[in-house]
A and B are shown apart, each in its own frame.
Chain A
Amino acid sequence: MNRFARRLAWSAVVVWAAVSVAFALNTLLPGDPARMVSGPQARPADVARIREQLGLDRAPLVQYARFWRRLVHLGPRVVERDGAPEHAGCVAVLPLGPSAVHVSLGKSFQMRQPVVEIIAVRLPRTLALAVAGLLVQLSLGVAAGTFAAVRRGAWIDRALVGTSLLGVSAPTFLIALLLQYVFSRQLRWLPLDGFGSTLADHARCLVLPALTLGIYGAAFYTRLVRDEMLVLLRQDWVRTAYAKGLPRWQVVVRHGLRNAAVPVVTALGLDFGSLMGGAIVTETVFRWPGLGELSVRAMLDRDGPVVCGCVVVTAVAIVATNLAVDLVYARLDPRVTVPRAPRTR
């Protein structure tokens, strides 16, 4: 429990550091958020008024302190949409008697919506794309990598390795354009881009971006699994398993693939964390309205609250994924433990 608490504390430090760096960069980089809101043709007097309305006329340190004070604070137990303006964009996360702990990421300068609401809409879309993309990556990559390792040196092995090299080398946008051309433009099976308005539409719209991420990532997993499996299948215990008369598929799956899963899980954790930050190119090409497209646009618009909101979500996702990966390690390989810190007397 102590170890878990320490990990949690470190995670909080990581999130704090990431958000602080994002805040500092967004504040200190040249460019006036008020000008970006007003537009390039707005008169200086109007820009100045909007700067004041946004609180950007305050010193950066004051803005920073206000950001953290607003991020976690106490407020009414129930947040009403048209209630007190200072709690308009809050989410009550922990009831405490008549009050509650509120989390608020502020309001977007550009979209003028609470950032929590914007992210609440976008996050499930990014999550769906990340999960679907990883599923494609894993299923294609693990199957191809295992098959190539088992048929080492055969033409199928060389073909799969060559194809995976092509997949790793191809830019995502190129894969995306090819898929769009074939499946949307020519075959008309799937939407060219977009998100859709019904669950069935969402599913149809998800296929091509997920395939794009999947094909790109599968190439990596193919090579990773193949290399791991080649080493594992030469181990003594594998020979022993064969000697015991186990069928080949059981040896490969139970003794090879299970042990190859540790590096795969590591890579998967890292991939999932970065995909939760948004697959920027894929989201842009397919007009998939997720966090990646949002964060890039916010950065270009100097929309500080959205930038910081996206960084909070991404940092939390990466930290949480890493924690989860550690737990899965222990399940996959009981030898993986972290030594306890010596007790001091």
Chain B
Amino acid sequence: MPSILGKLESVGAAPAILCAAIAGAGLPGCHEPLAAPLPAGHAPDAAPLRGGTLRLAAWQDVRNLDPAGPSDGLALQAEHLIFSGLVDFDFSGKLSADLADHWEVEEDGRSVVFFLRRGVTMHDGEELTADDVKRSAERALHPTTPDPNASYYAGIVGYDAYTGGRAGHLDGVVVEGRYVVRFRLAEPDATFLPVMAMHTLRPVCRTGGDRYSDTWVPCGAGPFKLLPGGWQRGSALRLVRHEGYFRPGLPRLDAVEWTFNMQTLAQRFRFESGQIDLLRDITQADLSRFAADPRWAPYGTAGADIRVVGEVMNTRVPPFDRVEVRRAVAAAIDRAHYRTLKPAYMTVLSQLLPPGAPGYDPGVPGQRYDYAAALEHMRKAGYPYDPATGRGGWPEPVVYPLFDGGTLVYTAQLLQQDLAKIGLRLVLRMMSWPAFLATQQRPGGAAISQAGWEMDYPDPSSYFDPLFATSSIGVESSNNASFYSNPTFDDLIARAHREVDANRRAALYREASAILSDDAPWAFVYAYHEYYLRQPYVREFALHPVWTLDLTRTWVDRATGTPGSERAP
């Protein structure tokens, strides 16, 4: 065996160690070259092969894998692999039948009947029936279940009585045969089917019982299943192929392995050596290097822009209780400047709906950077500002709370500079994430702060209703963090909620969007999307427009065995 010094010398370790130290300290300017992509075993047009394990990593952890329990962004991706729903969204973002063979809307939209596929096998080997659908719905909405999405199903007949503990069953879910189940709604609801595609009511195995339990091993009818011991909390998750999956020949992978809580630098090291196959958490510096390397250029995949990020102005707190000040802020933000921070992830945004959301219309009159207009709005508000002398503007400093996460610490400084040019002086105040949320969502809390929002289900209502409806203003905390209340706007989105004609519905949302852009409770700044790098041997990998990860058709085609001597712990 060569000596350590000899080996260090052979790899040119001295400068590399220095680089690692510098990179670790977060300083730019010193990098070792990127490894080459690892080749695939077959030609690009080769027929898909079954088998193999896809390995992923994430810097965070998953909290729960029960669709009825508390969740997070990463957990949703894993749940999507374990549980299938009656309906789902395809790769074009359109609603499609999944465990249901088809559905029928009856009684003028007050009833939806699902006809289940026959012969669908759950992970426990039992056949899926309408009883399972009803049991899973009642389990998820039971008063003792810690379901953070339960109220989305408040339109089901009998919801209040059941969740309030006054009824033993959910009357609005009616089994009409072994494979037929009816959902009765209190009133027509255009969002019901998209809401049904969420994970919450996805059928669970009979082992899940009729009450939520923290000790249950998640079991559904999705393409991958979790075996006992397959999830080491805080560490790793291994899912294996569900051989009884109802789509023939799918999934192709034998297994999917996730490693959690892995630092971004460690992820990159492992990705380059082929110990993980997809790279999701990438620093902007590393991403720039991968993007600039022609060998890696074909292997980056951007997801849909479904996350909207904006500066939230509390319409009850001065000076943002004046619409002209809000308009001034919306016009003063140089959005293109923001985007330079993370160009691979950000898209400049001028309206509420991001480009990846259903109903996005680039023709909607939105907010634009216009410095002269911003100064004019400040003058109209009664706080004229003279950029030449620096005099005028809002006389008091405005506190801008922020937390140490993502790009916020950088965008906050850009915002501070932009608003100083119109006479609004921000004081940045760093706090923890829980404290930030409490401050932002409390009436009279933050005057201005940044918020992000991602659709829970692909429909414009998933943005309009929670963020801006008067009904979303709570006593203790509010999703409507701008505390915006406009009866005309409320009426528009309520009508859109009930409207089943797609064109009329789109027109209502266009009108509502224009009102928001003009009233400016938010200054819409950018849309955010996921970005993945893959090794060339990862085939048929595409990001799902709603759930991000859908590995049903993905396969691995390694030219060689697992490279690297290290076993992934």
Contacts and interface: CB of A to CB of B under 8 A. Distances in A.
Nearest to B465: A43
B61 to A, nearest CB: 8
B269 to A, nearest CB: 5
B315 interface: no
Given A37-B70, A41-B466, A43-B479, A30 B263 contact: no
B292 to A, nearest CB: 22
A76 interface: no
A194 B569 contact: yes
Contacts of B23: 177
Contact of A30 (B151, B234, B434): B434
Contacts of B61: 297
Contact of B63 (A47, A110, A188): A110
B413 interface: no
Contact of A35 (B4, B20, B441, B472): B441
A46 B149 contact: yes
A48 B144 CA distance: 13
B16 A186 contact: yes
Contacts of B71: 39
Nearest to A188: B565
B433 interface: yes
Given A35-B477, A44-B476, A188-B566, A287 B17 contact: no
Given A31-B432, A300-B432, A289 B234 contact: yes
Contact of A32 (B8, B152, B234, B437): B437
Interface string A177-214: 11011101111101111111100010011000000000
B459 to A, nearest CB: 14
A244 interface: no
A40 interface: yes
Contacts of A120: none
A100 to B, nearest CB: 22
Nearest to A50: B146
Contacts of A327: none
Given A39-B72, A41-B454, A46-B149, A184 B269 contact: yes
A302 B476 CA distance: 17
Contact of B263 (A36, A182, A193, A205): A193
A81 interface: yes
Contacts of B16: 181, 186
A182 B17 contact: yes
Contact of B235 (A186, A187, A195, A302): A195
A192 B233 contact: no
Given A29-B435, A31-B438, A37 B146 contact: yes
A112 B66 CA distance: 11
Contacts of A193: 262-263, 266, 569
B433 A188 contact: no
Interface string A258-297: 0000000000000000000000000011010100011001
Interface in B240-276: 259, 261-263, 265-266, 269-270
A321 interface: no
A297 B566 CA distance: 28
A10 B197 CA distance: 58
A82 B215 contact: yes
B64 interface: yes
A174 interface: yes
A304 B259 CA distance: 26
A48 B214 CA distance: 20
B24 A174 contact: yes
B163 to A, nearest CB: 8
A29 B434 CA distance: 9
B7 A32 contact: no
Given A36-B434, A49-B150, A186-B13, A178 B478 contact: no
A38 interface: yes
B477 A112 contact: no
Interface residues of A, number: 62
B450 interface: no
B472 A43 contact: yes
A300 B17 CA distance: 33
Contacts of A47: 148, 477
B169 to A, nearest CB: 19
A30 B435 contact: yes
A273 B419 CA distance: 49
B69 interface: yes
A65 interface: no
Contact of A201 (B17, B234, B438, B567): B567
A41 B456 contact: yes
Contacts of B72: 39
Contact of B64 (A36, A44, A112, A191): A112
B388 interface: no
Interface in A65-93: 81-82
B70 A285 contact: no
B21 interface: yes
B527 to A, nearest CB: 16
B143 to A, nearest CB: 8
Contacts of A289: 234-235, 261
- Which one of B17, B146, B150 has the highest number of Cβ atoms from chain A below 10 Å of its Cβ? B146
Contacts of B214: 107, 112-113
A177 B432 contact: no
A342 B435 CA distance: 52
12 contacts: A30-B431, A31-B435, A31-B438, A32-B437, A32-B476, A44-B472, A112-B70, A180-B20, A187-B7, A287-B235, A293-B234, A300-B433
Given A46-B151, A82-B215, A293-B261, 6 more contacts: A40-B437, A47-B148, A50-B148, A112-B70, A187-B4, A297-B61
Interface of A: 29-33, 35-50, 53, 81-82, 107, 110-113, 173-174, 177-178, 180-182, 184-188, 190-197, 201, 204-205, 284-285, 287, 289, 293-294, 297, 300-302
**A-B pairs with lowest CB-CB distance, top 10:** A31-B434, A194-B569, A44-B474, A177-B24, A181-B20, A38-B148, A42-B148, A196-B569, A30-B435, A112-B214
